[in-house]
Amino acid sequence: MTTTRTRAERAATVRAAAHRIRHHALHMGEVQGQGYVGQALGAADILAALYADQLRFEPADPHWEKRDRMLLSTGHYAIGLYAALAEAGVIPVEELDTYGSDESRLPMSGMASYTPGMEISGGSLGHGLTVAVGMALGLRHRGSDSRVFNFLSDGELNEGSTWEAAMGAASHRLGNLTAVVDMNALQADGPTADVLRIEPAEAKWEAFGWRTFRVDGNDPEGLLAAFDEIDDRAADGPPQVLVCDTRVGRGVPLLEHREKNHFMRIDEHEWAICREQLTAGHDGGDR
Ligand SMILES: Cc1ncc(C[n+]2csc(CCOP(=O)(O)OP(=O)(O)O)c2C)c(N)n1
Ligand SMILES: [Mg+2]
């Protein structure tokens, strides 16, 4: 990204955006009384780095041809993406009140056909990277310099289709494709390490021909440092992956330390505590 702002200044913007994304996610969780709040909190810094710093898009025109494509393959993370899209001006903040209700454009798992900013319909895991490969190839054939990002989870690295797509991307030298993996060490049935071990993850991506980075996914400055190395819009290099270690529930200690944190049920009285803890933990920095 060409900018005269220092990385520290950009990181401050990302940190502030991530904080608002977390508040939006808590709000949507409260509307439903439950949900994948922990994932949204954990991924907020990554989503903020993407939408507040990396992605090229027009908030008023989600189908703008020259946009970068951000594919959320983990449908259940939609709550986090809606929060980021609201922060980015693609979805009106007031519309978050409708999250998960009938007739809403913001169902619990986003729909490409009617959710603004949602490039693919999620739900069935392990398909995002396959679609991203096709999109990246298609954009390159058209001479476009748009980039394709695929946000995927560590649980999705258990899917064979992810690795078929990884091979395809390297074979076609899709340098315009970046995978961003939320390594929160968790999946539906428990810790990823216990369900199906995928470490050492970097070695696997490298073996599949990807240029690989690994950072603390809750550290905006580190995220931007990695994204700066990745960003060259070179459509003919190896595909690149950023493996991000994150913590479920990040920013809200009550949720960070909760057992059964894949799909959280949060008591009515706890939402206010969550909001207070989130606000108390923020350093107050802003754009
Ligand atoms: C193909 C497929 N298999 C199973 C599921 C059911 N499922 C929904 S979320 C989830 C956990 C996937 O791991 P991850 O995304 O890492 O979980 P999280 O970090 O959100 O706890 C599973 C198995 C699914 N949606 N799609
Ligand atoms: Mg996970």
Q: Using one digit for the tens of pLDDT, what is the confidence trace for 13-33?
A: 999 999 999 999 999 999 988
And the tokens for 22?
Answer: 């977390």
- pLDDT, greater one: 261 or 216: 216
pLDDT of residue 160: 97
User: What spacing in Å lies between the alpha carbon of 123 and ligand 1's midpoint?
Assistant: 8
**pLDDT greater than 70 at residue 60:** yes
239: burial class by Cβ within 10 Å (0-12, 13-18, 19+)? buried
Question: Rounded to whole angstroms, how far apart are CA atoms 286 and 154?
Answer: 31
Kindly indicate the confidence band of residue 286, based on its pLDDT and cuts at 50, 70 and 90.
very low
**H or E segment at 87?**
helix 78-87
Helix, strand, coil tally for the chain in percent (to 5): 45, 15, 40
Mean pLDDT of 207-223: 98
Count of other CB atoms within 10 angstroms of residue 82: 31
Count of other CB atoms within 10 angstroms of residue 168: 18
| 95 within some domain | yes
pLDDT of residue 191: 93
Kindly indicate the confidence band of residue 2, based on its pLDDT and cuts at 50, 70 and 90.
low
Count of other CB atoms within 10 angstroms of residue 147: 25
- pLDDT, greater one: 122 or 248: 248
User: What spacing in Å lies between the alpha carbon of 250 and ligand 2's midpoint?
Assistant: 14
Counting atoms of ligand 1 from 1, which one is nearest the CA of 76? 9
- Among 161, 187, 255, 259, name the best residue to mutate to test ligand 1's pocket (greatest count of ligand atoms within 8 A of Cβ): 187
Measured by CA distance, the residue closest to atom 10 of ligand 1 is 188
| 28 within some domain | yes
**76 CB within 6 A, ligand 1:** yes
Q: What's the chain's average pLDDT? A: 94
**pLDDT greater than 60 at residue 73:** yes
**162 CB within 6 A, ligand 1:** no
According to DSSP, the residues that pair with 70 across neighbouring strands are: 149
Residue 147 is part of which domain span? 7-280
Which amino acid is present at 194?
Answer: D
| 120 within some domain | yes
Q: At what angle do helices 270-281 and 7-32 cross, to 10 degrees?
A: 180
**pLDDT greater than 90 at residue 234:** no
**247 CB within 6 A, ligand 1:** no
pLDDT of residue 125: 95
Contact 180, 50 (CB under 8 A): yes
| 286 within some domain | no
Burial 244-269 (b: 16+ CB within 10 A, else e): bbbbbbbbbeebbebeebbebebeee
Q: What is the CATH number of the domain that holds 114?
A: 3.40.50.970
**pLDDT greater than 70 at residue 287:** no
| 162 within some domain | yes
- pLDDT, greater one: 260 or 178: 178
User: What spacing in Å lies between the alpha carbon of 35 and ligand 1's midpoint?
Assistant: 14
User: What spacing in Å lies between the alpha carbon of 39 and ligand 1's midpoint?
Assistant: 11
**154 CB within 6 A, ligand 1:** yes
**184 CB within 6 A, ligand 1:** yes
| 2 within some domain | no
Q: pLDDT, tens digit, for every residue of 113-153?
A: 999 999 999 889 999 999 999 999 999 999 999 999 999 99
| 285 within some domain | no
pLDDT of residue 1: 54
Contact 220, 8 (CB under 8 A): no
3-class secondary structure, 26: helix
pLDDT above 90 covers a percentage of the chain that reads 89
Measured by CA distance, the residue closest to atom 22 of ligand 1 is 188
| 69 within some domain | yes
**pLDDT greater than 70 at residue 285:** no
**39 CB within 6 A, ligand 1:** yes
Number of domains in the chain: 1
Strands 264-265 and 34-35, sheet pairing: antiparallel
